[in-house]
Structure 1
Amino acid sequence: MTEAILYSFRRCPYAMRARMALHVSGLAYEHREVVLRDKPPEMLEVSPKGTVPVFVDAEAGVLEESLDIMRWALRHRDPENWLKRQDDELLAANDGPFKHHLDRYKYSTRYDGVDPEEHGAKAVEHLRVLEERLTMAPYLCGEIRGFTDIAVFPFVRQFVNADKAWFAAQQLEGVTAWLKSLTGSDLFTVVMAKHEQWKAG
């Protein structure tokens, strides 16, 4: 039995980026797939806030933030040198304003008095910053994928999938090619494998 445990949900972008970092690092762990409407008490015991991912390890303790999980795994082994390609400004913009607009664009019925078109347009403004960066190199921090790419693209994927035809009309060719490269990678295919809901015993 492996010592480390990851509580995850397949479609959660936070969990996706944690799984990719763990996989590329080669660290062994037990994958426990969570159904969000039926969260296991074992997860809630170690992380009462009830969100995924949650990583539990004797050395790391309990890590409840996906970026912390990524950095912890990559500090142990980072074969592609992802940690050398971090852009704190892009990461903050993705997890802050872009995620704010993404939620209100894709899940507008969950919020009172929001205009999904307005939030979609605001999200595209953020993507145009990525587009400008991607005119200079195929990835956000250079010629090969790095930490920032892996941390950001699951959210961009979620935004694009909400309305692919509308997104195509925005003419973000660089973002489209970058996203296709990352979602078409062997790494993404591996971490998106389906798992049955985990239950103790």
Structure 2
Amino acid sequence: MSQALPILYSFRRCPYAMRARLALLASGMRCELREVVLRDKPPAMLAASPKGTVPVLVDGGEVVDQSLDIMLWALRRHDPYSWLAPQAEDVAGMLALIDACDQHFKPQLDRYKYPQRFEGADASASRDTAAQWLRQLEARLARQQYLCGSHIALADMAILPFVRQYAHVDDGWFQEQGWQRLSGWLASWEQGPWFAGIMARHAPWRAGETGPVFPDEAAIARLRHLVGETATIGAQT
């Protein structure tokens, strides 16, 4: 009897779920994908992780319910694109950069994108505070092709979904900032195989059903063909 696949509870547009799916795609660690409707969360997900947010990975008796931990769970098993071995940084340095995104940039992003959810929030002020951190990323990208060297790594893929969310609050304003390298880094990812590989639409999962396998063999093969050994974000150059 074949062993049951791990289960990933996910929501297509959630940046935390996106980063988890990116690492699963890169590693080739297959799972059963269960697309969640956030206003009607499955009891099975809540039983596994009462915090009630996606992503949640269930692997037998093990529950991993933090997006970065899911990334590390997958990549420590198989890391063919060397996301845990960047050229100009170590894992601790990447984790510190991701922590700055999660603890400092993300709260300002939320107040910029959803000011109505926060009493007294000033969307413009939060936008500008978040922009200070993005300028640091722009400076990094002025020195090297990706955040931690010459190839994409964990830090890029953990941060890109949140920069995407920020940029699309007001695309015109974002483009006016003159962040040429940051904008190019983001556009290359959005137009390339990594983004395409995680953004297929799936019907919401219902109890008793089996969700689709993610990533499927076709997606993994297509990624290897387009990206090859260069591990670039966008199309092969």
Fold shared per TM-score above 0.5: yes
> Counterpart of 1:72 in structure 2: which amino acid?
W
RMSD: 1.1
| Partner Cα separation in structure 1 for residue 123 and residue 29 of structure 2 | 40
> Aligned partner of 1:58: which letter?
G
Task: Trace 1:161-200 onto structure 2 (pairs within 5 A).
Answer: 161-200=168-207
Query: Which aligned pairs between 1:61-140 and structure 2 lie closer than 5 A?
Result: 61-85=62-86, 86=91, 87-140=94-147
Within 2, Cα distance between the matches of 1:147 and 1:88?
8
Shift in Å, 1:58: 2.4
The 2-side partners of 1:2 and 1:184 are apart by 33
Shift of 1:84: 1.6
Structure 1, unaligned stretches of length 5 or more? Answer: none
The separation in 2 between residues aligned to 1:160 and 1:185, in whole angstroms, is: 17
CA distance in 2, matches of 1:83, 1:68: 13
TM-score, normalization by structure 2: 0.82
> Partners of 2:47 and 2:96 in 1: how far apart?
34
Supply the distance in 1 between the matched residues of 2:188 and 2:81 (Cα, whole angstroms).
16
Runs of 4+ deviating beyond 4 Å: none
1:184 to partner: Cα distance: 1.6
Contact 1:2/1:28, CA 8 A, preserved across alignment:
no
Match of 2:55 among 50, 53, 56: 53
Distance in structure 1 (CA, Å) of the matches to 2:191 and 2:97: 22
Q: CA deviation at 1:170?
A: 1.1
Letter of the 1:55 counterpart: L
Equivalent residues in 2 for 1:137-156, closer than 5 Å: 137-156=144-163
TM-score normalized by the length of structure 1? 0.97
Report % sequence identity. 51
| Contact residue 102 and residue 119 of structure 1 kept, 8 A | yes
Cα distance per residue 1:69-126 (max 9 Å; x no partner) = 0001001100011012342231111001100100000000111111100000001100
Once residues 127 and 89 of structure 1 are traced to their aligned partners in structure 2, the CA distance between those partners, rounded to angstroms, is 15
The runs of 5 or more residues in structure 2 that have no matched partner are 209-237
